[in-house]
């Protein structure tokens, strides 16, 4: 069986080899943007009495900060905003700390 080298075949091979790892990396960043602030808010829930609305607001604020510091390509955010400090500041620790701080600062019932 002969392998025909043509533009369609080459394009298909290039897409299989390079696009799949790029998509996988973007998915990992998106997972980080979702779960890091969530972990910070839930961690703070263990310290203070549970307040679901405060946890959701803290998570959203952490998610938005993560996306601002390290915009993900999969949501198309990187097309509209530039990373803060050109991405030199990591996104994980600030998003975790912001979500935990908002949740801890929320007044108890």
Answer with the residue of higher pLDDT: 45 or 18. 45
- pLDDT value at 58 more than 90: yes
- Cα distance between residue 17 and residue 62, in whole Å: 34
Structure tokens at 17: 């080899």
96 pLDDT more than 50: yes
Residue 18 pLDDT grade (very low, low, confident, very high; cuts 50, 70, 90): low
Q: What is the pLDDT of residue 24?
A: 75
Q: What is the pLDDT of residue 47?
A: 92
Per-residue model confidence (pLDDT) at position 1: 47
Cα dihedral sign, 18-66-88-100: negative
Enumerate the domain spans of the chain: 29-105
pTM of the model: 0.74
Task: Please tell me the predicted confidence (pLDDT) of residue 14.
Answer: 66
């Amino acid at each position: 069986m002969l392998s025909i080298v043509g533009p369609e075949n080459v394009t298909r091979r290039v897409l299989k080899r390079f696009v799949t790892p790029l998509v996988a990396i973007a998915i990992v960043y998106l997972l980080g943007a979702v779960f890091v602030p969530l972990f910070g808010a839930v961690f703070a829930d263990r310290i203070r009495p549970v307040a679901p609305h405060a946890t959701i607001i803290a998570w959203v604020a952490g998610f938005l900060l993560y996306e601002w510091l390290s915009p993900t390509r999969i949501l198309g955010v990187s097309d509209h905003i530039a990373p803060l400090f050109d991405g030199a500041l990591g996104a994980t620790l600030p998003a975790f700390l912001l979500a935990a701080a908002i949740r801890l600062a929320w007044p108890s019932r």
